[in-house]
Structures are given as C-alpha cells and as structure tokens.
Chains A and B, each alone.
Chain A
Amino acid sequence: GQNIDQPTEMTATEGAIVQINCTYQTSGFNGLFWYQQHAGEAPTFLSYNVLDGLEEKGRFSSFLSRSKGYSYLLLKELQMKDSASYLCAVMDSNYQLIWGAGTKLIIKP
C-alpha cells in the first residue's frame, strides 16, 4: 500500500533550527509537497520538490531524495508564528496526492 510517515510532534526553541522528516512509499512519484497548517486554519502551500536536492525559500528549505523515498523540511531562525502542523504529501503515478498525518511543531521561547 501507499504510505507517508512523519513524526507526530516536535518541539524546538525560538531562534533555533528544526528538521521535519518525511518518508514515503508510493505507487510512482510525481512530486512532493509541504504544507503548513496553523490550528483552526486552512493548509497553505510551502514547497514542491520533484527533482533531488535542496530547494531554499527564505527561512524554509525542502530536500528530496527520490532513491531513498525521503524528504525533509528545514526551518531556520524559528519564530513563535512557526508553531503549526506541517503536512507532507506525495503525488503518485495517477497524480493523486497521498498525505501524511502531519507533524505538529511546538516552538518554545
């Protein structure tokens, strides 16, 4: 079956760096997405990776290794507003999105 794994919860300190991992097993691969979802709000798009390597966008970076079925989201210079859930999703060979359960990130002062 298809599966996306990410940690349920992580805690980090304001100003620090945190890496949220995502591993996947899917039928085919047409890209990996990261979304951010604040409590009670809609998910919003953060990044899309389809080729191996690191994509940097300000304080956020996303890495992909297709051969390992692995991605991570790296958040630098953490701010309190980064407290949210981070959702990993993979687009399979049928262009359907398979979603992980999300990682709740708690930022402490």
Chain B
Amino acid sequence: DVKVTQSSRYLVKRTGEKVFLECVQDMDHENMFWYRQDPGLGLRLIYFSYDVKMKEKGDIPEGYSVSREKKERFSLILESASTNQTSMYLCASSSGQGDTGELFFGEGSRLTVL
C-alpha cells in the first residue's frame, strides 16, 4: 500500500519557536510538495521539489523553508512560528513521469501557534 507519512498529526507551538514538519514517501516519487489548507481557501502551495537537494518556491513561501536531502524525505521548516501560520499542513508526492500528475497526500499535520 503506497504511503505518504507525516511525522506529527497535531502540534502546539509558541510564537517564535522553530518548527519541523517531516514527510516521508515510500513510492520512489521524484516530486514532493508542501501545502497549507485553511477553511474557505483552496490548497496553497508553499514549496515543492522535483529532485533531491532541489527546491522551488510555491505561492506562499514567506516564513517557510524546506529541505530535501534524500529522495523519500521532504521537510518543512518554520524558522520562527507566528500565529498566522496556524493551519493544516499537507505533504504530497507524485511520480511526474508522463502520468496524470496524481498527487498522493499524507494525513496532514495540524499546527497551532499560540
């Protein structure tokens, strides 16, 4: 069974703390993505990566950074968490080799910043 696993389902952090969200996929996919999902809004792309050590900014990269040291792992980092980063964070992967581009999502990490 193909799987995208996110390290934490629920986190509560304080303003200014550094936050790491980790994502691992077991499908040997080249492409990995980090989205945030907020009520009333479509998924918004934070960062994505098409290869190891490669990263590209999405639509809302401010306040975030990412790391992809291994093909299967894509980490999202909040250097100094702020209350407006309270959200559901979704990691996804896709193979991106001539297929439909179907995304496989993790269960999500719900972050609350106090």
What is A's interface to B at a CB cutoff of 8 Å?
4, 8, 31, 33, 35, 40-45, 48, 50, 87, 89, 91, 95-102
Partner of A42, one of B41, B90, B101: B90
Kindly list chain B residues whose C-beta atoms are within 8 Å of the C-beta of A87: 42-43
What is B's interface to A at a CB cutoff of 8 Å?
4, 40-45, 90, 100-108
Partner of A101, one of B4, B41, B45, B107: B41
Asked whether, in the complex, the Cβ of A99 is within 8 Å of the Cβ of B42, the reply is yes
Q: Nearest chain A CB to B45's CB is how many angstroms away?
A: 7
Which partner residue on chain B sits nearest A43 by CB separation? B105
Asked whether, in the complex, the Cβ of A45 is within 8 Å of the Cβ of B102, the reply is yes
Partner of B43, one of A40, A44, A48, A99: A99
Kindly list chain B residues whose C-beta atoms are within 8 Å of the C-beta of A99: 42-44
Assembly CA distance A8 to B39 (angstroms): 10
Asked whether, in the complex, the Cβ of B90 is within 8 Å of the Cβ of A33, the reply is no
Q: Nearest chain B CB to A30's CB is how many angstroms away?
A: 8
Asked whether, in the complex, the Cβ of B106 is within 8 Å of the Cβ of A48, the reply is no
Kindly list chain B residues whose C-beta atoms are within 8 Å of the C-beta of A100: 42
Which partner residue on chain B sits nearest A6 by CB separation? B42
Assembly CA distance A48 to B45 (angstroms): 20
Asked whether, in the complex, the Cβ of B100 is within 8 Å of the Cβ of A48, the reply is yes
Kindly list chain B residues whose C-beta atoms are within 8 Å of the C-beta of A31: 100-101
Partner of A95, one of B44, B101, B103, B107: B101
Q: Nearest chain A CB to B4's CB is how many angstroms away?
A: 7
